[in-house]
Chains A and B, each alone.
Chain A
Amino acid sequence: MKIALAGNPNSGKTTLFNAITGKTEYVGNWPGVTVEKREADLNRKYRKIFPEGRVVDLPGAYSIAPYTSEEAITSDFVVNEHPDVIINIVDASSLERSLYFTTQLLELGIPVVVALNKQDLVKRYGNEINIDGLSKALQCRIVPIIANEGVGLKELIKAAAEAAKEGKKQPAPEFEGKGTEDEKYARQKYVKELTNKYLKRNRDPSQITLSDKIDRIVAHPVAGLIIFAVVMWAVYAFSIEGLGGYLSEYFNETLFGEIIPEAANNFFESIGLHPLLHSLIVEGAIAGVGAVVGFLPLIMVLFFCLGLLEDSGYMARVAVVMDRYLKKIGLSGRSIIPMIVGSGCSVPGVMSTRTIEDVNEKRMTTMLTPYIPCGAKLPIIALFAAVFFPESSLVAPSMYLVAFIVIAIGGLFLRKIFGWKSTSVFIIELPEYKLPSVKHAFRHMIKHAKAFIIKASTIILVMNTFVWFTQAYGWNLQMVEDSSGSILASIGNVIAPLLIPLGFSKWQPAAAAFTGFVAKENVVSTLAITIAASSEEVLSLPGGVLTQFFTPVTAYAFLVFNLFTPPCFAAIGAMYTELVERKWLLRALAFQFSVGYLLAMLVTQIGTIILYGKLATGFVAACIILILYAIVIYYLIKRTSSGKIQFSTVTR
């Protein structure tokens, strides 16, 4: 039996979905978080009431006639796949708007149960809804619920089970003017009458509230930008340098630096394990995975903080603040949503670009979203900040500032190169602020921690084994005395010369950057295996073994290189899905690679001159490359502005 969850954006569908299935899908207190349909069985508690119930969570829609592509998913599903029952989640604090969609759902003939959500807000406003009356008028079951507190869910599932079992055709609402050309006006009138009849408003919604007063500061063009910068700095400083950093230090230096390797060494020696296997496990698996998992506390603290922020309703305001600035580079406030999601992981971030209708804006956002450092890039940032800049709480958060600057400049270039014009208009619903739920933030944290551990124990473990073997063996499949004769070193040495102008031309960093394309955490684990495992030190020690490979300037350049070249394979796959055409994927990758390379080169070359008063190696090569870049960009822009090639296809 299929239960479809349908309703307006930000009405609480995914919150309800998670509550009745036990899943932990991404929820944010802002519209447009769900962009794909998701399915799961009811959890045990509710299966007793509704056996074989399978729930489909649909993206939010304001109407059956789709405006955005995720609205289309919703209407396609309810129209074509005939769920056995539709649970229509209605935001009771915005009843009139929600009922418009409800009346359309009632016309499909599929049994509908209305879940009247956000009863707490209704009470707070002092409003009253005559549920029995409305239920009779619409001829469907209505159950009042508070999804995020779990209130009324049993009754809701019971009602859905009854409706599905009866299997009676849902009677459509009758109103004057139905079937005529002006049906939508007639429907609106009908909905308005219903609302006036069954909703007693004891609050004038157009009154200025506390929430509005907060918005005037938080969404203000200048103050809002400063607040956003401070909030982001606080979150990342707290995660990387504060509590998260403190715990990670213990994990890295004590737990994975001493306790676990020593215990493993003693254990393997006592059972007389083959030295080769012993070395693979301790120097490959434990050193590599440990170097990544050591950053787990930091990831957890970050996602806890982001969870609190998301739940508060603040993120919708960030979109408003950023809208006017993003307009200048051809984007809009819509583009900030994928970027915020991308601060967790670029894959869902890139996927949520499908809420953007303007095709050029969507392409640009797809190319730029991976520049927001994701959770997997955090260990790289934290590692280099700890080793090279232990005194500064600014270096790690500065990567996010750099990311925004790169997005702005990169966006400008993309626009020039492809001759894009901004056509989009921006509108976003502003949910009322609420006290963020610690439970929600905690779930958010656990979900990401789990994903992180799973990734570390699968893909990263496999890569580590590969890295360990290739750095321990030569091409003749004999173990090498010195890893400089290994397979990995010879691969790294092929790439390394290309990195000379960037300031890190040894094979180890080259190999690390290379494995980073599989998953960004691999950068840390590869450095751990190739550099730290042979020394007795922990990789993340301030002023430790990494300083033999980087100066602070080239360390920063290496960070920039890893952050602003193309993301991992999974994110590249997501980009391909959203960009659709192969040629656009290739353009995106070329763009991202050029930006990362150029930026790292500039950091090294300019930084070395300013800070050390000398020319970095590869200065001449860097100058030549810079000139080539300038020529190519000039040519591309000229080609577009002369109108020979029309790249943009304006959708509307």
Chain B
Amino acid sequence: MNMPLAKAKVGQRAIIKSISGNEKIRNFLFTLGCCEGEEITLISALGGNYIVNIKDSRYAIDKRMANAIELVEAG
């Protein structure tokens, strides 16, 4: 089942299916290891901000970015 990161459940581990948005941001996310096929976990959803785990690090992202990241369930 596909869904944007903004709609994911807290604590849910998922695989990134696609990232929309402009090239520059996508490239930046890529260097963090945030790209298609990689694992991402939503750690907390705090109003308009989302805390995620990518590889071994935590990042806070805003709603616009959380909506641009499309997920599929892991497994």
Contact = CB atoms under 8 A, between A and B. Distances in A.
A212 B44 contact: yes
B62 to A, nearest CB: 4
Contact of A426 (B29, B41, B58, B62): B62
Nearest to A201: B56
B56 A94 contact: yes
A97 B65 contact: no
A427 B44 contact: no
Contacts, number: 119
Q: At the interface, is chain B mostly helix, strand, loop or mixed? A: mixed
A67 B28 contact: yes
Contacts of B13: 206
A6 B47 CA distance: 35
A97 B49 contact: no
A63 B46 CA distance: 29
A216 B22 contact: no
Contacts of A96: 33, 55-56
Interface in A219-239: 219-221, 224
A319 B65 CA distance: 16
A97 B48 contact: no
Interface stretch (A47-55, A320-328, A539-547, A548-556): A320-328
A65 B68 CA distance: 22
Interface residues of B, number: 36
A453 B49 CA distance: 42
A211 B51 CA distance: 12
A221 B47 contact: yes
B60 A320 contact: yes
Interface residues of A, number: 41
A501 interface: no
Interface string A193-229: 0000000000001101001100110011100100000
B27 interface: yes
Indicate the member of A94, A95, A425, A429 with the most B CB atoms within 10 Å: A425
A624 interface: no
A324 B56 contact: no
A336 to B, nearest CB: 12
B62 A427 contact: yes
B3 interface: no
A360 interface: no
A139 interface: no
B60 A428 contact: yes
Contacts of B33: 96-97, 100, 188
Q: Which 6 A-B pairs have the closest CB atoms?
A: A221-B47, A206-B41, A62-B31, A63-B31, A324-B48, A426-B62
Given A221-B47, A425-B64, 12 more contacts: A67-B24, A97-B32, A101-B31, A206-B41, A219-B60, A221-B48, A320-B49, A323-B62, A332-B62, A425-B65, A426-B60, A426-B65
18 contacts: A67-B27, A96-B55, A97-B32, A97-B55, A100-B31, A205-B53, A215-B51, A219-B49, A220-B46, A221-B47, A324-B47, A327-B62, A333-B62, A427-B60, A427-B62, A429-B58, A430-B59, A430-B60
Interface of A: 62-63, 65, 67, 93-97, 100-101, 184, 188, 205-206, 208, 211-212, 215-216, 219-221, 224, 316-317, 319-320, 323-324, 327, 332-333, 425-430, 432, 652
